[in-house]
Amino acid sequence: MNLSLKRLTENELELLMNWRMSDEVNRYMATSPKLTMEGQYKWFEQLKNDKTRIRWIIWADDIPIGSMYLDEIDYENSSCSGPGWFIVEKKYLDFKQLVSLHRNCCDYVFNVLGLNRLYGSVMTENKGVLQLVKLCGFEIEGERKHVEKDGVFHDWILVGLTRDQWESKKERFGFEKIDIES
């Protein structure tokens, strides 16, 4: 199976909207949006000209299986938030492939975008993703207490990775390169 990241197109907006509003995806996200196609089209028009965000669809051969994204891309301060992602069609990926996908996105940030720092947060209940980001070289930088989502407070773990940390670890990681559309 060939994995690839292809830039989000208008053709996938409804698919992405339905994925994002599903209980399975929302479970570990910071928000639970109520999206509409009208709103998706407006958002997509803004996204096309926004240099601070990238949205991809994750493809397994010719099957869309999820989404990966970077936010808050800041070329002046050489950093961004991410990679964020979700997989809906889990039968097409195992944990090893997920780690490879995440590592490829980290490599893209440092060696294609030329940034110096990646950062993000993981809901403490999301133990699998916390393990995954550690396997990709991220370090725990702190904890954010009580982020409210749908009237419930959750704790979040703050994680970060610098270019130097990535470069010192990536050779021993070993991961198969995938196609990432710029």
Could you give all domains of the chain from N- to C-terminal order, each with its CATH number?
3-180 (3.40.630.30)
Tokens found for residue 81: 């938030």
Q: What is the pLDDT of residues 27-51, one digit of tens each?
A: 888 888 899 999 999 999 999 999 9
**CA 39, chain centre distance (Å):** 21
Helix (H), strand (E) at residue 7: strand 3-7
- Please choose, from the candidates 25, 78, 83, 14, the residue with its C-alpha nearest in 3D space to the C-alpha of residue 54: 83
The strand pair at 3-7 and 54-60 is best described as antiparallel
Q: How confident is the model at residue 151 (pLDDT cuts 50, 70, 90)?
A: confident
pLDDT tens column, 63-117: 999 999 999 999 999 999 999 999 999 898 888 899 999 999 999 999 999 999 9
Residue-level pLDDT at 50: 97
Mark out the alpha helices in the chain (DSSP H runs). Answer: 13-21, 23-26, 37-48, 95-111, 127-135, 163-173
